[in-house]
Amino acid sequence: MLLHDPPLTRRTTLLGAAAIGAASLLAACASGSPVGDNEPAELSVDEQAAVKARDAVAQTLAAVSATSTARPGLAVLLNPIAAMHDAHLSILDQGESGAASPDVPVVPPGRAGALAALHTAETQLATLLAGLAAESDSGQWARVLASMSAAIHQRLPDLAPTQGGKP
């Protein structure tokens, strides 16, 4: 009896690759040399990138959540973006805990102001992730970060106001 696997979508392929890359990175981090009790551990370039990415994604997710709470009419638009950031955090948080709590962002007044602030925050996050990918030592880790950046770029048009002032 032949069983057919369901077709892979681009999203499941990217998330699977990201999870494999993150797991590989964490395994490499865990197998590092032991550190003395009084000697601070130096993080590799990729480990530093993971911490920066995790903190930046958490901060941007906090901004999305605060905007969704302050402007309930935007929740339908922002829920998929929040879900994307949650998925990214689940990859970045593998094996790590103790991330800094994000600052509670101030949501600008008005729909256009709130969307503009989120557009700026998302653009900055995508740029940061792309830069971290370019600096990565591991090709797998670079692909994980680059795919996160690309996913954010795909959501940016949703946050840009059109001629009528509404997305």
- How does pLDDT run across 97-124, given as a tens digit for each residue? 555 677 778 899 889 999 999 999 999 9
Nearest to 126 by CA among 103, 159, 148, 158: 148
Quote the pLDDT of residue 53.
94
38-42, 65-69, 72-76 — which is least confidently predicted? 38-42
Q: How far apart are CA 162 and CA 141, in angstroms?
A: 36
- pLDDT band at 20, cuts 50/70/90? low
Alpha helices, DSSP H only, in the chain? 10-30, 45-70, 75-92, 111-135, 139-159
Q: Are 145 and 87 in contact (CB under 8 A)?
A: no
Q: Are 51 and 43 in contact (CB under 8 A)?
A: yes
The architecture (CATH level 2) of 45-97+106-159 comes to: Up-down Bundle (1.20)
- pTM confidence score: 0.71
**Which residues contact residue 158 at a Cβ distance below 8 angstroms, ignoring those fewer than 6 apart?**
77, 81, 167
Quote the pLDDT of residue 95.
54
State mean pLDDT over 56-62.
Answer: 95
Does residue 133 carry a pLDDT above 90? yes
Quote the pLDDT of residue 17.
52
